[in-house]
Each structure stands twice: as C-alpha cells, then as structure tokens.
Structure 1
Amino acid sequence: MTLISSAERNQLFESFTEDAFHLELRDDYSVPDEEGPFADWLRGVVDNSFMEPWTAMIRRVTGQGKAVRRVRVVTEPHTEYVHWEYVTTTLNEEAGERIRWLPRQDLPGDLVLPVGGNDWWLFDGRILAVGHFDEDGRVLGSELIEDPEVVAEAVRVRDLLWSVATPHREYKP
C-alpha cells in the first residue's frame, strides 16, 4: 500500500470539481499542527490561527461553487478532543464547510463501513483518500482508492450518513 502525505492529499482540493466529503470516525486525532493549540485550549487559551491555511483553502474552493462536507461520528459523552472540535467547528462553517454530527450509538445497526472503518475523503464520488494511523493515533498518510466498487460503497455510506446526521447548528452535545 502506498500512502501520500496530508499535503499531497490536500492537493486533491485543487482538482475536484463538485463535492469533497470527509467521514470522521475517531474520537481523537494526534495531528502535530493541532497539539499546541489543543493543549492551549485545555488551559483556557484560545488561538485558532493554526486553522487559517485550511479555512483559506475552504473559502477559496467553496467560493468557486464547490461543496465541502463532513460527518463526524462521535462517542457521547465527548472526549476533550471532540469537545474542542465542536467549539472550533464554527470556523470551518464560516469558511464554507458544512458539518454534521452523528452520535456513534445512532449509526444504523446493519451498517458496514467501507475501507476497514478508516476515515476517508471522497472527491467527486470517484476518488477515495483513506486515512491510515499508527497505534498511537498519529496520521501515517492517505491511501488513494479508485476501485469503482469500493468508491460506490463509500458514496452509499456518504449519502446515508449525511441524511441521518445532525447539522452543526442543531447538534447539542
């Protein structure tokens, strides 16, 4: 399996034409760019400047009429990390991203998640960028998958979860 970096994965935002969708399934992410801001937030210090490269990119692509959506499947009660994500989600949405929440216990009981239950980005319903993590939760990279059957299953799961998840402004943890 060949993995690409997060920066290489983000280049897919330059080439998609209609819709980018992210399925998040983890209750904690050990992303190096977030470690300092998350630790600061735990101490009561808020500095979200680390999000500026992301939100600038999202503003640019959504300003071109492209959709960027995300469903966060989360355990309740939330981990501190998910609580922090909840608080900072307003910045994502102000940039043009649409985010919905789905408590893990509300997942359809017969749902089998594609690609081993890993997180993924789906670009234009044709390319999957599947996230891989080490045993400590650190991002290893993304695997690109274009197999039509795997992608079709991801499209089905995207549509199902988007339809049952709660929009951020309505979700009250």
Structure 2
Amino acid sequence: MELITSAQRDQLFEAFEQDAFHLELRDDYTVPNEESPFASWLRGEPDDLAWAKPWSNLMRRVTAAGKTVRRVRVITEPHTPYITWEHSLTALNEEDGEDIRWLPRRSLPGDLGLPLGGKDWWLFDGRLLAVGHFDDDGRVLGSEIVEAPDLVAECVRVRDLLWSMAVPHREYKP
C-alpha cells in the first residue's frame, strides 16, 4: 500500500470539482502542526491561530470557487480534551466555508458497518477516496488513494446516511 503525505492529500483540494467530504471517526488526533497549539490550549494560553492559516486559506479559496467542503465528526460523549478543543475551533472552520456536523457515536445505527475498517476518509466528488492511516498514538502516517467503484459507492452511501443524521455545528451543544 502506497501512502501520500498530508501535503499531497491537500493538493486534491485543488483538483476536485464540486464536493469534498470528510468522515472523522477518531476521538484523538496527533497532528504535528496541532500539537503545540493543543498543549497551549490545555494550559489555558491564548492562540494566535497562525498554525491554522494554511488550511484556512485553502478552504477560503476552494469554497469561494463554489465548491463544498463538508465533515461529519463521529464523537464519543463525554468528549475527550482533543474533541473539546476541536469543537472550540469549529466556528472558524465554518467561517472559512466548511460545513461541519457532529454525530454522537451512540447514535450510529447498530447495523452500520463502516467501510474501510473504520478509518477516516476524504471523499472527493463521489469518485475518489483518500483514506487516513494512523499509528497507535494517533499520528498521521499518510493517506491511501482508493478509486475502487464498489468501495467508493459504499462510502457515498455512508456519507449520505451520516450527513442526514448528524447535527449542524451551530445546533450541537456538547
């Protein structure tokens, strides 16, 4: 299996035509550019958000071009500190044009089998997947590109189901 870097995955945002969707299933992430801001937040220190500017600029550019970027975050309640921090920043993502919804893990249908072994994934235009791979500590190893039609179709089905069930950010009260 060949993995692409996060930077290479981000290049996919320059190429998709209409819709990018992210299914997030982890309660903790260890992302290099987030480690220091998260630690500062845990200590109650202010954040200038400089670390978030590249993503923010990318999302503003993509959504200004009329493309949609959506996420469903499947989360455990009560939240981990990471999810609490992420929730505190989500209004900024939405200001950049993303549409983010929350789905408590307990609300997942009991008979739902999550494709790709329960890994996170980005789905671009309902045609291409970038499947996230992480180590045991939650560090990003890279993304695997998947274009198998049956697997992509299953992810489209799961996307549509979970999107319809999830609570928009402005309505979700942890």
* Corresponding residue number in structure 2 for 1:11: 11
Deviation at 1:46, TM superposition (A): 2.7
Q: Distance in 2 between matches of 1:52 and 1:109?
A: 38
Q: How does 1:45-124 map to 2 (within 5 A)?
A: 45-47=45-47, 48-124=49-125
Q: Distance in 2 between matches of 1:29 and 1:13?
A: 21
SS state of the match for residue 58, structure 2?
Answer: helix
Q: How many residues matched?
A: 173
* Corresponding residue number in structure 2 for 1:40: 40
Q: Distance in 1 between matches of 2:43 and 2:137?
A: 23
Q: Which amino acid aligns with 1:136?
A: D
Q: Distance in 1 between matches of 2:56 and 2:110?
A: 34
Q: Distance in 2 between matches of 1:34 and 1:22?
A: 18
Q: Distance in 1 between matches of 2:146 and 2:119?
A: 13
4+ residue stretches of structure 1 with deviation over 3 A?
Answer: none
Q: TM-score normalized by structure 1? A: 0.99
Q: Distance in 1 between matches of 2:31 and 2:37?
A: 11
| TM-superposition CA deviations, 1:39-70 (whole Å, max 9, x none) | 00011113122111101100000000000000
Identity %: 71
Q: Which amino acid aligns with 1:9?
A: R
Q: Which amino acid aligns with 1:59?
A: R
Deviation at 1:135, TM superposition (A): 1.4
Cα RMSD over matched residues?
0.5
- Structure 2 unmatched runs, 5+: none
Asked if residue 136 in structure 1 is aligned to residue 146 in structure 2, the reply is: no
- Structure 1 unmatched runs, 5+: none
Greater shift in the superposed pair: 134-143 or 18-27 = 134-143
Q: How does 1:152-167 map to 2 (within 5 A)?
A: 152-167=153-168
SS state of the match for residue 160, structure 2?
Answer: helix
Q: Distance in 1 between matches of 2:5 and 2:120?
A: 15
SS state of the match for residue 86, structure 1?
Answer: helix
